[in-house]
């Protein structure tokens, strides 16, 4: 559980840091999808104790989340949007 708490704290920090919004619509979509995926990951972390199988899907989603943030930071919004689209497709079911 310690590993998940650490991940949650890091995730919370990343989401609390204001990412400058650009006039570029792709940049804004990328940012919004990262925020949405981050909120899904937070919900999933809270559910891991009562539904341990969520941990199996959480790990690849978190990896994709990190990749999307890296893509955003280098200005590769197409990759960011592509990665978050895939991750959001799977995270929605677990974040209810």
Q: What is the pLDDT along the chain (96 residues), one digit of tens a residue?
A: 567 766 766 666 665 554 554 458 899 999 999 999 999 999 999 998 888 888 899 999 999 999 999 999 999 999 999 999 999 999 998 888
pLDDT at 14: 63
Does 51 fall in a domain?
yes
φ, ψ (nearest 5 deg) of residue 59: -60, -50
Does 4 fall in a domain?
no
pLDDT at 1: 55
Does 64 fall in a domain?
yes
Does 22 fall in a domain?
no
Among residues 90, 91, 92, 71, the alpha carbon closest in space to that of 29 is found at 71
pLDDT at 66: 95
How many domains in the chain? 1
For 32, the domain range is 27-94
pTM of the model: 0.74
Does 88 fall in a domain?
yes
């Amino acid at each position: 559980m310690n590993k998940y708490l650490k991940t949650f704290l890091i995730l919370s920090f990343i989401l609390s840091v204001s990412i400058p919004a650009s006039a570029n619509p792709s940049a804004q979509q990328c940012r919004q999808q990262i925020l949405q995926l981050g909120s899904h990951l937070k919900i999933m972390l809270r559910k891991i104790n009562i539904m341990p199988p969520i941990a199996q899907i959480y790990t690849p989603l978190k990896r994709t989340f990190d990749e999307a943030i890296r893509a955003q930071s280098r200005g590769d919004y197409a990759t960011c949007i592509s990665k978050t689209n895939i991750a959001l497709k799977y995270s929605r079911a677990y974040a209810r």
